[in-house]
Structure 1
Amino acid sequence: MTAATAPEAATATTDGRPALRVGVQLQPQHADYGRIRDAVAEAEEAGVDIVFNWDHFFPLRGAADGKHFECWTMLGAWAEATSRVEIGALVTCNGYRNPELLADMARTVDHISGGRLILGIGAGWFRRDFDEYGYDFGTAGSRLAGLADALPRIRSRWERLNPPPTRDIPILVGGGGEKKTLRCTAEYADIWHGFGDAETIAHKSRVLDAHCTDVGRDPRSIVRSAGVQAAPDAVADDLLAAGVGLFTIGVGGPRYDLGLLKDWIAWRDERRG
């Protein structure tokens, strides 16, 4: 397998623009699991393209010790509970699982879902997760080195598993480090998820392009993804100009209000024509 096989999000329209997709990150905090499951079903019914969760052990906002659920067991359940949407973590923390084990987990969820998994991965940053679950937090440099070591090991393990994945599982790398994270993205990823406003995304996207040139990769084979928390008419045009093709709305519990997500789905449908 090679990183040159990009997911559906990388395909272009007839005029050369990237195909537009909309995702939602349902943050598994402050809610009973039944409500999370209902939100997944509501998002799929609304027409979202991808449903993400996140890989943390405690809430990031609100009550620090509020309700929270684990990422990958949840993805296995979502694989059975959905039929159309792609699913994944935005993003898996590389430091919590051996790369070979993570590869096998991803392959298994890929099969359960019928080939709808995206492997989102990053170096990790939330110290409480590391400390309370017994992982070495290390330094930013050591965590990034671990990510660089893990990505080829994951791909190598996929090639050795029996049965193999149902498809070349798309890899999404999240983060904006220009020297290391974006280099790893150029070498191994199909999707890059960035953070910040359109100007920041555009700058880091140009850095990613340069890394792609260095490693002999077509920059157009990597989808540019961004989180959005504003209405389409406020930010969509600038993000499109920055090259973004995947727009992901973060939604937290306990209510999981999908109103903004539905606005973005309507915008996508209008753009697709």
Structure 2
Amino acid sequence: MTSSRPVRLGVQVQPQHAPYSKIRDTVAELEDLGVDILFNWDHFFPLSGEKDGLHFEAWTMLAAWAEQTTRVQFGSLVNCNSYRNADLQADMARTIDHISAQSGEGRFIFGTGSGWFERDYDEYGYEFGTVGQRLDSLADNLPRVEARWAKINPAPTRKIPILIGGGGEKKTLKIVAKHADIWHSFSDAETMKRKLEILAKHGEDVGRDVSEIEISTELRSLGEAEADELYGLGTTLFTLGISGPDYPLDGVKKWLAWRDAKNGA
């Protein structure tokens, strides 16, 4: 089931182990290279390497990217729903959408998830709770985000795409079926095939055609043959993470060539 959508490459510039000047320069180089989407992540501490190494906050960084860039779409992979009031998240997203609208329409993607890194919660004073409680909170908050966008003044420049990260089959995929424009997971081809069938069933239950949802996955250690399999199942957004201090771009250039070949460029 190859999708009619073009293949897109997103690069997650992990905001760890580098001064912000290096992050800024990397963002500029990635936009010049032609990547489709830039992501960061919504954590307060590094996820690899020195646990107390250099690290920066996600949303303030995204506002800077909105002003710095002119073409590329961007967002968090993913925002942690638990840290912020739902209406505040909507307002921040709308504001960044407008900041990025140099050519008429904003370029912000509202990537969100339920949260998982306990240290973030413990050190910043948020209640960690259980996986189920965090997913229930995400399910409760997304309608509030959408309702705030519908009445906020000024309104977003366009329908802000919602990307939901996670692969839980009972709760997460139901939330995806209800709200997502993009679904992001970490799936091999066999797992992806099964989860897409489950997502389709959730779509039937909530009355939505889930073919509207763009399918995204992380490349990580995948080879081109494995990426081809996922593309054959309908995956069109592929993401690659790069970390400071150096943010190597060789892998990005390789996957850009693969993307262009898939798109017939």
TM-score normalised to structure 2 length = 0.95
Indicate conservation of the 8 Å contact 1:23/1:48, yes or no: yes
Consecutive unaligned residues in structure 2, runs of 5 or more: none
Q: Does 1:248 align with 2:235?
A: no
Structure 2 distance, partners of 1:166, 1:141, is 34
**Correspondent of 1:192 among 162, 173, 183:** 183
Shift of 1:197: 1.6
Matching residue's letter, 2:207: G
Matching residue's letter, 1:255: D
Q: Does 1:261 align with 2:229?
A: no
Q: Does 1:65 align with 2:52?
A: yes
Q: In the alignment, what sits opposite 2:6?
A: 19
Structure 1 residues 11-160: aligned runs within 5 Å: 17-114=4-101, 115-160=106-151
Matching residue's letter, 2:4: R
Q: In the alignment, what sits opposite 1:168?
A: 159
% identical equivalent positions? 59
Shift of 1:16: 5.5
Indicate conservation of the 8 Å contact 2:3/2:236, yes or no: no
Shift of 1:229: 2.1
Shift of 1:233: 2.3
3-state SS in 1 of match to 2:235: coil
Indicate conservation of the 8 Å contact 1:224/1:246, yes or no: yes
Q: Which moved more, 1:205-214 or 1:51-60?
A: 205-214
Shift of 1:202: 2.0
Indicate conservation of the 8 Å contact 2:44/2:120, yes or no: yes
Total equivalences in the alignment: 260
Per-residue CA deviation, residues 24-46 of structure 1 (Å, 9 max, x unaligned), is 00100000001011111111111
Q: In the alignment, what sits opposite 1:213?
A: 204
Structure 1 pair 65–16 and aligned structure 2 pair: CA distance change class (3 A): closer
3-state SS in 2 of match to 1:64: coil
Consecutive unaligned residues in structure 1, runs of 5 or more: 1-11
Q: In the alignment, what sits opposite 2:215?
A: 224
TM-score normalised to structure 1 length = 0.92
Shift of 1:218: 1.1
Structure 1 distance, partners of 2:22, 2:194, is 38
Matching residue's letter, 1:119: F
Q: In the alignment, what sits opposite 2:174?
A: 183
Indicate conservation of the 8 Å contact 1:232/1:267, yes or no: no
Give runs of ≥4 in structure 1 deviating > 4 Å: none
RMSD of Structure 2 on Structure 1 (CA):
1.4
